Structure 1
């Protein structure tokens, strides 16, 4: 029998950090790549009804798993919006354009895992600094490279999201 070469990665609720706790979208940092031996990076995202979670982007190093714990999630996956309800899951392969948000009439609480893991908690801390004016839009280019989060302009995502809100 093989023994594990590293200990189990554990994050207890009282030890987690939440970014944007008082905002329509909050991110609870769970286990990052460096803690999981590179196998995965995990966060929990909570979105108010109809809130946008992430703008269109893609990853070059990891597939992304979305598990919907509560509510209903809309995901731009490739070239269309897919809606997934509580208890459902979706895997977006690397290089696939995607974006996500809570469905127009529902909040959502989701678990996201990037596999293999990349350092992601720093990315969410960067977004917080950007929102607070402590980083500039010029810093976004470097952040895309540092955190393997490459932004795209997909007008159809916004058009469909806005049409559903009307």
Structure 2
């Protein structure tokens, strides 16, 4: 399901435009990406921000494994846990992050996340710049092509987005 975000610029009053259009993605709107047991809603893919910012909302079903531990070389990520608890693994250290907490991952930091609980978890993720939103689309396409969301497919797709595996922390 792909919904086009609404834009709100200056009202048509005959006066000059007040500036760039503002994007509004309402409840239930936005592009939906399904990756295994994770349902993601794209709130901003970068088209409204000159690709400076991307933002998604993800619902992780209970016992959802995360991607292989990895590090980004070109973008920062932010994760706000809206509900539930998300386990972030940074190197060899686990952090069980509850609702209301925010995690910042700068370039070069090894990380992954998962929902290891019996309850769904919801998180809001930011990507600066927005290039990583396309990564999720590519993973969905790989699953649709029958290749599946194997660790190898994750890593192959990551490599196209300035992301490398943190192999020193592989299990």
TM-score (norm 1): 0.76
Listed as ranges, the gaps of 5+ residues in structure 1 are: 157-166
Counterpart residue number, 2:31: 17
Give the whole-Å Cα distance in 2 for the aligned partners of 1:64 and 1:28.
16
Shift, 1:139, TM fit: 9.6
TM-score (norm 2): 0.74
Counterpart residue number, 1:149: 163
Counterpart residue number, 2:130: 118
Give the whole-Å Cα distance in 2 for the aligned partners of 1:6 and 1:90.
30
Q: Say which SS state the counterpart of residue 140 (structure 2) adopts.
A: helix
Counterpart residue number, 2:58: 45
Listed as ranges, the gaps of 5+ residues in structure 2 are: 1-16
Count of residue correspondences: 151
Change (3 A) 1:134 1:4: farther
Change (3 A) 1:138 1:105: closer
Give the whole-Å Cα distance in 2 for the aligned partners of 1:149 and 1:74.
20
Change (3 A) 1:48 1:60: same
Task: Please tell me whether Structure 1 or Structure 2 has the larger radius of gyration of its CA atoms.
Answer: 2
Counterpart residue number, 1:101: 114
Q: Say which SS state the counterpart of residue 68 (structure 1) adopts.
A: strand
Are the equivalent residues in 2 in contact too, given 1:9–1:36 (CA < 8 A)?
no
Are the equivalent residues in 2 in contact too, given 1:10–1:31 (CA < 8 A)?
no
Are the equivalent residues in 2 in contact too, given 1:16–1:29 (CA < 8 A)?
yes
Deviations 1:83-105 (A, max 9, x none): 11011111111110110011333
Change (3 A) 1:4 1:99: farther
Are the equivalent residues in 2 in contact too, given 1:118–1:147 (CA < 8 A)?
no
Deviations 1:16-66 (A, max 9, x none): 121228x52111111012322233111111111121132211111121111
From the two aligned structures, give the one with the greater helix fraction.
Answer: 1
Shift, 1:145, TM fit: 4.3
Match of 2:139 among 96, 112, 127: 127
